[in-house]
């Protein structure tokens, strides 16, 4: 029996409680949320070294017809590599094949080309010959042309770059398409910064629509970005640097994210994260590199330039458009400051060399310049006070389903004395219980999240991790949203997150549970006002982690029976036949909340919780 104290006004749940954590892991951004279709668009993937890595570009044509090489001859200073396509065929004795020779890019495990859709193609080119150049999307087997535009390159000037940008309409579909540039004229062509974007992106800002919509549907209170270990990297020289990810996309150097070990062109940069937060109507939380990578730390004596760099980064987000870095932001199309009010000083670095000393250097500088910004420490204060000041501390937990389920009570005993609030910035069930996103994992996470609601006087923010995985590059398992280059689905964990989307800012009502047998489900009772319906709703969540059916009788103390209308009330049930069941591309909605209308009962409300 669940007895709800319905007339008690309850306690407010922070409006910040449930948000999301975006990390560039599993190709979450490059080849994922960032809708750029060309991988390694500037041929820079070798980093600052020459010869560079042009993968996944490859030649179209035999080696006696075409040769690819890289040169440091780009017109862009910060990304110096350009591709040279030497066309050897095109003579009487060696004519080129009918469909020409050139270069192909298969995107990130295929390019999703759809008939009737438009794509914006941009690149820089120079040529030592006057050529007809075919710019096209082709099918996976390279036998069909899905879209094509022929360019007459008449400006024969091997030292002067020309920008080309145009719309390409697809007249055929292949989810595994490729991008190709071909010609049948002998000579040399240089190519750089090749981009192809679907014309439709989320809010027109470059995010893949289907994936961004799944984020919007979570109604997240905040977005923590860009990592995770991605922020630190293995080596400092490869760590994520905000400064290298802003300004025109074609001038960005890109970098190797050496923790998750793949190249990013950094189209999704610091500005784009801030813009995403705005587009999702959520608060940005920037995690910056505090001079610490997994292998090296900067000593306190040398930390000042790092501090200055972060202050510049804050100015980029928040400074007036007349400030040095605010001007750069304004030039990117956002004169108004972004509301960057939360910043994490590093990620999981508490026990790495010099963390506390360097932390204080960042803390003091940011606090002095921006006293209103909330600062997040990596050190756990669950079992005792921190030895340094902070507004929040990070708490990360990855464990098996039973442990996480038990941790619904993790913060019950946490001291309520003054001190930093908890930011559970990463949590998930991992290991054998999780499969690649099992129901069992999701149910345990639901119990843990209910525990967070109940303890939301001390836990003010929480986010599941990781958010995304490209099915062809699963570097961390499990994840919330699974996608490939053209489709996506939510794991049961994603749907549990959705079930909590109305918790932020609701009120937690007191209740009591009593049982004559077995163990109780994990329950929370919230009251929230629905603006559209201009009505107050009671929101009851219950997790049954066992494999028995649990009948629950619900009474509302203090409300007359006819005070509860049940109008527009529903029951949403998330379960499946087996605890280890999962969603998949073949059955993307096998496990999703099943919604049924709630009938007004004759006496007390009776609900049956199925197993799991």
Site residues (vs ligand AHR, CB under 6 A): 23, 25, 227-229, 347-348, 426, 465-466, 476
Integer-rounded Cα radius of gyration of the chain: 27
Catalytic residues: 348
* Beta carbon of residue 16, minimum distance to ligand AHR (angstroms, whole number): 20
Strands (E), 370-517: 374-377, 392-399, 421-429, 459-462, 468-470, 481-483, 488-490, 507-508, 511-513
Task: Give the DSSP per-residue string, 91-130.
Answer: SSSSPPPTT-EEEEE-BTTBEEE-TT-EEEEEEEEEESS-
Q: Which is nearer to ligand AHR, 57 or 355 (CB)?
A: 355
Contact 164, 290 (CB under 8 A): no
* Beta carbon of residue 301, minimum distance to ligand AHR (angstroms, whole number): 27
CA dihedral of residues 166, 172, 178, 183 (deg, nearest 10) = -60
Q: Which is nearer to ligand AHR, 354 or 468 (CB)?
A: 468
> How far is it, in rounded angstroms, from Cα 11 to Cα 416?
15
Q: Which is nearer to ligand AHR, 103 or 461 (CB)?
A: 461
Q: At what angle do helices 270-279 and 304-318 cross, to 10 degrees?
A: 40
CB atoms within 10 A of CB 319: 20
β-bridge mates for residue 399, sequence order? 429
Q: Please tell me the number of Cα atoms within 13 Å of 259 on its side-chain side.
A: 23
Q: Which is nearer to ligand AHR, 229 or 314 (CB)?
A: 229
Q: Which is nearer to ligand AHR, 265 or 479 (CB)?
A: 479
Instruction: Please give the C-alpha separations between residue 535 and each of 564, 565, 566, in angstroms, as whole numbers.
Output: 11, 10, 11
Provide CB contacts within 8 A for 389, sequence distance 6+: 363, 375
Q: Which is nearer to ligand AHR, 104 or 231 (CB)?
A: 231
Say whether the peptide bond before residue 271 is cis (omega within 30 degrees of 0): no
* Beta carbon of residue 23, minimum distance to ligand AHR (angstroms, whole number): 5
Provide CB contacts within 8 A for 316, sequence distance 6+: 242, 246, 270, 271, 325, 326, 328, 329
Provide CB contacts within 8 A for 252, sequence distance 6+: 78, 79, 244, 245, 246, 265, 266, 267, 269
* Beta carbon of residue 311, minimum distance to ligand AHR (angstroms, whole number): 24
Q: Which is nearer to ligand AHR, 284 or 346 (CB)?
A: 346
Exposure string for 443-479, b = 16+ CB within 10 A, e = fewer: bbbbbbbbbbbbbbebbbbbbbbbbbbbbebebbebb
Closest to 373 in 3D by CA, of 417, 337, 427, 397: 337
* Beta carbon of residue 446, minimum distance to ligand AHR (angstroms, whole number): 19
* Beta carbon of residue 592, minimum distance to ligand AHR (angstroms, whole number): 24
* Beta carbon of residue 245, minimum distance to ligand AHR (angstroms, whole number): 18
* Beta carbon of residue 442, minimum distance to ligand AHR (angstroms, whole number): 17
* Beta carbon of residue 235, minimum distance to ligand AHR (angstroms, whole number): 16
> How far is it, in rounded angstroms, from Cα 603 to Cα 612?
27
Provide CB contacts within 8 A for 88, sequence distance 6+: 64, 65, 66, 67, 94, 186
Q: Which residue is nearest to ligand AHR, using beta carbons?
A: 228
Task: Give the DSSP per-residue string, 523-551.
Answer: EEEEEEEETTTTEEEEEEEEE--SSS-EE
* Beta carbon of residue 410, minimum distance to ligand AHR (angstroms, whole number): 18
> How far is it, in rounded angstroms, from Cα 16 to Cα 376?
14
Q: Which is nearer to ligand AHR, 467 or 508 (CB)?
A: 467
Longest C-alpha distance within the chain, in Å? 95
Q: Which is nearer to ligand AHR, 347 or 524 (CB)?
A: 347
State the distance between the two ends of the chain, measured CA to CA, in whole angstroms. Answer: 19
Q: Which is nearer to ligand AHR, 174 or 348 (CB)?
A: 348
- Which helix (H) or strand (E) segment is 194 a member of? strand 187-198
Query: 3-state DSSP call for residue 598?
Result: coil
* Beta carbon of residue 380, minimum distance to ligand AHR (angstroms, whole number): 14
Q: Which is nearer to ligand AHR, 80 or 478 (CB)?
A: 478
Closest to 467 in 3D by CA, of 280, 296, 315: 280
């Amino acid at each position: 029996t669940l007895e709800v104290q319905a007339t008690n006004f309850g306690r407010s749940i922070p409006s910040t409680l449930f948000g999301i954590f975006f990390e560039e892991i599993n190709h979450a951004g490059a080849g994922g949320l960032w809708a750029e279709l060309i991988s390694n668009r500037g041929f820079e993937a070798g980093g600052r070294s020459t010869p560079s890595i042009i993968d996944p570009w490859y030649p179209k044509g035999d080696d006696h017809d075409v040769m690819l090489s890289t040169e440091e001859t780009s017109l862009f200073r910060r990304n110096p590599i350009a591709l040279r396509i030497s066309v050897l065929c095109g003579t009487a004795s060696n004519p080129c094949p009918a469909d020409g020779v050139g270069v192909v890019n298969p995107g990130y495990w295929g390019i999703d080309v759809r008939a009737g859709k438009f794509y914006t193609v941009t690149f820089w080119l120079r040529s030592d010959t006057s050529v007809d150049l075919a710019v096209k999307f082709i099918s996976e087997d390279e036998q069909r042309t899905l879209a094509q535009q022929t360019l007459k390159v008449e400006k024969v000037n091997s030292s002067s770059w020309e920008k080309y940008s145009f719309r390409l309409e697809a007249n055929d579909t292949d989810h595994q398409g490729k991008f190709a540039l071909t010609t049948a004229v002998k000579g040399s062509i240089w190519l750089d910064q090749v981009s192809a974007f679907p014309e439709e992106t989320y809010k027109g800002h470059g995010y893949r629509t289907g994936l961004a919509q799944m984020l919007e549907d979570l109604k997240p209170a905040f977005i923590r970005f860009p990592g995770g270990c991605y922020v630190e990297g293995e080596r400092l020289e490869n760590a994520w640097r905000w400064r290298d990810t802003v300004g025109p996309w074609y001038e960005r150097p890109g970098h190797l994210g050496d923790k998750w070990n793949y190249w990013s062109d950094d189209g999704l940069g610091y500005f784009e994260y801030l813009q995403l937060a705005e587009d999702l109507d959520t608060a940005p939380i920037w995690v910056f590199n505090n001079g610490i990578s997994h292998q090296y730390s900067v000593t306190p004596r040398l930390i000042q330039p790092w501090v200055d760099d972060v202050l510049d980064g804050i100015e980029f987000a928040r400074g007036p458009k007349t400030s040095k870095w605010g001007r750069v932001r304004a030039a990117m199309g956002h004169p108004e400051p972004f509301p960057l009010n939360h910043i994490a000083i590093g990620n999981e670095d508490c026990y790495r060399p010099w963390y506390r000393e360097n932390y204080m250097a960042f803390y003091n500088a940011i606090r002095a310049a921006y006293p209103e910004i909330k600062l997040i420490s990596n050190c756990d204060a669950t079992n005792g006070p921190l030895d340094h000041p902070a507004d929040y501390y990070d708490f990360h937990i990855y464990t098996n389903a039973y442990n996480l389920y038990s941790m619904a009570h993790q913060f019950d005993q946490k001291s309520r004395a003054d001190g930093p609030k908890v930011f559970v910035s990463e949590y998930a069930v991992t290991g054998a219980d999780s499969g690649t996103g099992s129901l069992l994992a999701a149910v345990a996470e639901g119990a843990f999240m209910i525990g967070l609601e109940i303890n939301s006087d001390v836990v003010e923010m929480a986010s599941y991790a990781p958010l995304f995985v490209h099915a062809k590059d699963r570097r961390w398992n499990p994840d919330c949203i699974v996608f490939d280059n053209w489709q996506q689905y939510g794991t049961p964990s994603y749907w549990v997150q959705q079930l909590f989307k109305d918790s932020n800012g609701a009120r937690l009502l007191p209740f009591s549970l009593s049982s004559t047998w077995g163990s109780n489900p994990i329950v929370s009772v919230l009251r929230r006002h629905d603006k559209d319906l201009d009505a107050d709703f009671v929101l009851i969540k219950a997790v049954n982690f066992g494999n028995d059916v649990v009948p629950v009788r619900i009474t509302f103390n203090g409300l007359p029976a006819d005070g509860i209308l049940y109008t527009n009330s529903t029951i949403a049930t998330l379960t499946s036949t087996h605890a280890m069941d999962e969603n998949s591309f073949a059955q993307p909605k096998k496990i999703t909340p099943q919604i049924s209308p709630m009938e007004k009962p004759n006496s007390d409300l009776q609900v049956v919780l199925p197993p799991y």
